[in-house]
Amino acid sequence: MSLPEFTKAIELINYGGEKDSFRVGQRKIKSLGEKEVLVKMYAGSINPSDLMYVRGLYGIKKKLPAAGGFEGSGTIFAIGEKVSKVKIGDRVACAANYVGDGTWSEFMVTLEENCFPLIEKVTLEQGASFFVNPLTACGLTNIAIKENRTGLVQTAAASALGKMISRYAKRKNIPVINVVRKKEQVELLKSEGFEHVLNSEDENFEKDLSRLAKKLDIRLAIDAVAGETGTKVLNSLPFNSKLVSYGALSEEPIQVNAGAMIFSKKQIEGFWLSYWIAETEPSEFSKIVIDAQENISTDFKTEVQKIYSLDAGFEALDFYKNNMTKGKVLFKME
């Protein structure tokens, strides 16, 4: 079987995050390393982390130009000499390496450890959004499980990831206080069966959160917003509470009062999916991956609101930026 030399891709050429920061063209496919695979991509997804990355605001920067995209799905097309966990023909959910090209491409080279074979019931379209949101939901909720927490508070609760966390936590019998920022989001979540929903823009938000967190004895928060929202949540939690930061949608810092850390034993720590995967015992992680796939249509259901071809380029990113809570946007390969 002859390997393709070039692949059509959406290239990021600078970190300005504007229309002229992207171009659609042909990229040369690099040769495979011993532990690398070539994936014939079915689709690549767009996530909030992608929007931060293309503006140079994410935790990594690649040498440009490079194809964008952190996650997607496809079929293993070729494998390196020492690849043992996947084989040619496997349908996989996959993530990009931290160097080189990403998933917004017809073909992608990545490490075998970045590929999860899909079980029969999971479609390639579902697999395109499996890596980031479902596994992040598992990782964050498992903090509460590992630490024997009696519940958790989460911000950005109306997002696709927020809903996954609530559904997964409910299955694990973990109460969740859901924090949103719009009245219609409160109504939406309550209509979907979420019991505890608070609006961070309400005048009495901090008092209401403090009262409810104390009633439910919740001392853990997971925060995707940072800024004023993250600060309010941390301040409203009871004595000896922890806030886990995994995003900064506000692009503002969390303001921490030294007295709260000293006298109220408040603490903040970060969460990055890559670190969590690396730090989780392999057999335990494998069970989590299978469980997430088994529940891909329930706890970890992803709504796809729009599908674009690679030729759409920046148009697709701009659409997702303005419609993030309405569902996932995919690039589907021709």
Q: For residues 93-121, give the mean pLDDT.
A: 97
| 64-101 confidence digits (pLDDT tens) | 999 999 999 999 999 999 999 999 999 999 999 999 99
Q: For residues 208-224, give the mean pLDDT.
A: 98
Band of residue 2 on the pLDDT scale cut at 50, 70, 90 = confident
| 153-162 confidence digits (pLDDT tens) | 999 999 999 9
pLDDT at residue 39 is higher than 80: yes
Per the prediction, the chain carries an average pLDDT of: 96
Q: In this predicted structure, what is the pLDDT of residue 247? A: 94
Q: In this predicted structure, what is the pLDDT of residue 325? A: 81
pLDDT at residue 315 is higher than 90: yes
Read off the pTM: 0.94
Percent of the chain with pLDDT over 90: 96
Q: In this predicted structure, what is the pLDDT of residue 6? A: 97
Q: In this predicted structure, what is the pLDDT of residue 334? A: 77
C-alpha torsion sign, points 150, 155, 158, 159: negative
pLDDT at residue 310 is higher than 80: yes
pLDDT at residue 226 is higher than 90: yes
pLDDT at residue 24 is higher than 70: yes
Band of residue 170 on the pLDDT scale cut at 50, 70, 90 = very high
| 187-211 confidence digits (pLDDT tens) | 999 999 999 999 999 999 999 999 9
Band of residue 3 on the pLDDT scale cut at 50, 70, 90 = confident
CATH class of this structure's domain 6-129+302-332 = alpha beta
Q: For residues 281-289, give the mean pLDDT.
A: 96
| CATH architecture of the region 133-275 | 3-Layer(aba) Sandwich (3.40)
Band of residue 1 on the pLDDT scale cut at 50, 70, 90 = low
Q: Dihedral through CA 296, CA 224, CA 113, CA 60, nearest 10?
A: 150
Domain locations along the chain: 6-129+302-332, 133-275
96 and 102 in contact (C-beta within 8 Å)? yes
Structure-block tokens of residue 295:
């529940």
| 318-330 confidence digits (pLDDT tens) | 999 999 888 999 9
User: Mapped to the 3 state alphabet, what secondary structure does the chain carry?
Assistant: CCCCCEEEEEEECCCCCCHHHEEEEEEECCCCCCCEEEEEEEEEEECHHHHHHCCCCCCCCCCCCEECCCEEEEEEEEECCCCCCCCCCCEEEEECCCCCCCCCECEEEEEHHHEEECCCCCCHHHHCCCCCHHHHHHHHHHHHHHCCCCCEEECCCCCHHHHHHHHHHHHCCCCEEEEECCHHHHHHHHHCCCCEEEECCCCCHHHHHHHHHHHHCCCEEEECCCHHHHHHHHHHCCCCCEEEECCCCCCCCCCCCHHHHHHCCCEEEECCHHHHHHHCCHHHHHHHHHHHHHCCCCCCCCCEEEEECHHHCHHHHHHHHHCHHHCEEEEECC
pLDDT at residue 214 is higher than 90: yes
